Amino acid sequence: NTGAARFLPERLELDALSRAAARCEGCDLHRAATQTVFGEGPRQAAFMLVGEQPGDQEDRQGHPFVGPAGRVLDRGLQEAGIARDSVYLTNAVKHFSFTPRGKRRIHQKPTAAEIDACRPWLDAELAVVRPRVVVVLGATAARALLGREFRVTRHRGEPVPLGDALAVATVHPSSVLRAPDRDDAYEGFLADLRAAAGAA
């Protein structure tokens, strides 16, 4: 397990990347997960949204953000005026990480080593899509893209340079669902998405 790099195709193109990622064994997460959940969206989308990793529903269905967090995200995008067809959706880690508990699968945070192992896919997606704005959803994506010193709580909603793009960090949409005051958490999330919309 030396990371995803050796699984990358020669030609950097979304279809080829997605097919190659389906066979990735760059870390141990591929063993228990159902399938790779690669990013989706138009090539050269203005916005790239980067989450943590697929959840239970995403793992079963094979598409990013199709579960409860995805519904929060969809609502936020719509209210922030970010069109779905201007968005490429992906995750820092492409396989679901979980611990089995009875019949349930409990989401586990990916480790720093897993985030690093999976990074070549995210780098390749960034190189192909070349978004104007990268929306960084939560601490795991921030760790992958902005380094381990970056604090989402301190710098959320602030455009920061990321290569040729601007990155805007916010909380993970699933944290909105877990917040004691959901409406308040959602308003904060939406304000950050509006800042991202304004940065494009």
C-beta of residue 26 within 8 angstroms of C-beta of residue 2: yes
Residue 118 Cβ vs ligand URA, minimum distance, rounded to whole Å: 13
Quote the distance between the C-alpha of residue 122 and its chain's center.
9
Residue 118 interacting with ligand SF4 (CB under 6 A): yes
Residue 105 interacting with ligand SF4 (CB under 6 A): no
Residue 108 Cβ vs ligand URA, minimum distance, rounded to whole Å: 13
C-beta of residue 182 within 8 angstroms of C-beta of residue 189: no
Strand partners, 48: 88, 134
Q: Please state the φ and ψ torsions of residue 159, each to the nearest 5 degrees.
A: -65, 130
Residue 67 Cβ vs ligand SF4, minimum distance, rounded to whole Å: 18
Q: Is 166 helix (H, G, I), strand (E, B) or coil?
A: strand
Q: Nearer Cβ to ligand URA, position 6 or 182?
A: 182
Residue 52 interacting with ligand URA (CB under 6 A): yes
Residue 25 interacting with ligand SF4 (CB under 6 A): yes
Question: Which region, judged by CB under 6 A, interacts with ligand SF4, from 28-36, 74-82, 83-91, 163-171?
Answer: 28-36
Residue 131 interacting with ligand URA (CB under 6 A): no
Residue 51 interacting with ligand URA (CB under 6 A): yes
Question: Which region, judged by CB under 6 A, interacts with ligand URA, from 3-11, 61-69, 114-122, 191-199?
Answer: 61-69
CA atoms within 13 A on the CB side of 52: 22
State the amino acid at position 90 in one-letter form.
T
Report the residue from 48, 93, 167, 169 that binds ligand SF4 according to the rule CB under 6 A: 93
Dihedral angle over CA of 125, 167, 50, 29, nearest 10: 80
Q: Nearer Cβ to ligand URA, position 65 or 88?
A: 65
Q: Alpha-carbon distance 147 to 116, whole Å?
A: 11
C-beta of residue 48 within 8 angstroms of C-beta of residue 135: yes
Residue 65 interacting with ligand URA (CB under 6 A): yes
Residues that bind ligand SF4 (CB under 6 A): 4, 21, 24-27, 29-30, 36, 93-95, 114, 117-118
